Amino acid sequence: MKILISVYLLLGAALCQFFSAYFYAKGRISYRKAFSFLLLCLSVYLFGSLMIINSDNLQEMIFWNQIQYLGLPFISVLWLVVALIYTRTIYTLKNRTALLLFVVPVITFFIRLTNPWHHLFYTSFEATQAFGINTMLMERGFWYYVNISYTILCLLLTIVIYLLGYLKNRAGDTRNHFVITFFASLFTLIGIMLLLFTLDDQGIDYTALIIPVSLLTISYGIIKHDFLEIRTLARDTIFENNIAGMVILGPGGRIIDFNKAARDFFGKLNISLDNYPLERILDREPELLEIFKSKGDADYAVVINGEKHIFEIDTVLLGNNQDGNMKMLKSIRDVTEERKIREELKVLATTDSLSGLCNRTEFVSLAQRELARAKKHNGELSLLMMDLDSFKHINDTYGHMAGDVVIREIGNLIKSSFRKTDIVGRLGGDEFAVLLKNTSLPEAKKAAEQFRTTVAETKVIIGEQEIGLTISIGAAAKSENDDSSSIEDILRKADDALYEAKAKGRNCVVIWDDEMEDATVIDESLPG
């Protein structure tokens, strides 16, 4: 029996030493450091217990009992600290909190160290045996009961903290972590209670016998569930407190874990996450179900409280678990406002603020795209260049504010006069352009003439003044058999035709004729 218990305690102490060094070397995460010191204290205590049962006399037993108290007073409070940090009840152990928690253990340490002078902890010692094992009977003093009460209080708080953590976290793997730590703390408390309330006089240290069971429980959690690696500070700050909803999916679409933001997201859809299989919780949302089952990213649009919301659902593959099945992290972000702002910024970057038409950069970009499409499908494409007649005179006579009014009026006329599929833009100053999709040059000429007439019939009121407007238009088209021409080439031809319209007297339409290698006046019904 003595050999078996000795091996048992030796393995327990060795296991504590190993994991203490392991977690101390893993990094600076607060609960890792606390857990490392906890294991170190446990190893000292278990080693002292081992030496006591193998001592030859009472003096050696007293000595090794003293060694035990290098770590024993701090075990329960360190267990509590690990629980507080692990569950994020506190984020780090501040000086004031440490002083409050460790004041009793520190006093206990010094009282036990100086016990021969005052006997406040133990009043007497007696060597005995139980089941062939050397044990020690100790008459307990006042401070022993203060220390043991504080120990029980710390362990009870630890158990309550882990129990609350279990009830608050509804996802599978996370709940397993709390179950393991709960029972590890409970076993330790049972050992303390047996030590305190045992009715026999054999001096058996039940705590030393039960603590290795707690260690085995935690070791199982480390090996099986890797819980001391999953719930790190980064996990809590990035996962649990992330403004984006996060859902971890396991094999078969089972929800392993989720954060508060994810719970809020599903709550807005009147969906509870209590039922873990996706097919059950998303049976009324087939589109969302397909998104969650896929390994890609997607947008999900839904009406919430009468308003349309757009959610970005991104997927991060977490690799295969032990049975080879894939785990995924689904990130859910409400991008409604972001998309709205993005569209507003796009409008500002691509739109001429005065006319409401495309600016030059955007017009050329869209025109290049349409030209490429027309070349690919052998389609027709025409372009109109337009310039207000005598615009400088309007600015000089009526002021630049009047000029702005005229620009806005022309912009409105262009938008209302041409098709919605056409591309319209202000190239600068009083110069405008229209790209006519699937339009031949004769058809472009007809549309240009109609617009010229519309402008000529328009009157702009500036104060009490009525201003008449006219416009000159140049037209060009994609060459039928020339796929090498660029949008710049067509713009240049239309601009040359516009220049010819100005030279012919303004208020007319001129088209570029490739065969004639010249610009030809088509209509001068209202010479300027």
The radius of gyration computed from the CA coordinates of the chain, to the nearest angstrom, equals 42
User: Which of 503, 488, 489, 496 lies closest to 519 in space, CA to CA?
Assistant: 496
User: Which of 301, 255, 262, 261 lies closest to 279 in space, CA to CA?
Assistant: 255
SS3 (DSSP) at 237: helix
* Cα–Cα distance for residue pair 349/337, rounded to 1 Å: 18
Q: At what angle do helices 30-53 and 2-25 cross, to 10 degrees?
A: 160
Task: Please answer whether residues 494 and 385 qualify as being in contact, where contact means their C-beta atoms are separated by less than 8 angstroms.
Answer: yes
Bridge partners (DSSP) of residue 519 are 512
Annotated active-site residue in 430, 513, 514, 518: 430
* Cα–Cα distance for residue pair 502/430, rounded to 1 Å: 14
Q: DSSP per residue over 38-74, as a string? A: HHHHHHHHHHHHHHHHT-SSHHHHHHHHHHHTTTHHH
Three-state SS annotation for 111-156? HHHCHHHHCCCEEEEEEEEECCEEEEEEEECHHHHHHHHHHHHHHH
* Dihedrals phi, psi of 203, to nearest 5 degrees: 70, 25
Given the DSSP bridges, would you call strands 471-477 and 509-513 parallel, antiparallel or unpaired?
A: parallel
Residue 29: both structure tokens together? 């995460």
**Residues with Cβ < 8 Å from 85, sequence gap 6 or more?**
30, 31, 34, 91, 92, 93
Residue type, 257: D
Residue 402: both structure tokens together? 């009047």
- Note if 430 is an active site residue: yes
Residue 528: both structure tokens together? 């300027």
SS3 (DSSP) at 267: helix
Q: How many CB atoms lie within 10 A of CB 198?
A: 12
* Cα–Cα distance for residue pair 327/316, rounded to 1 Å: 9
Active-site positions? 430
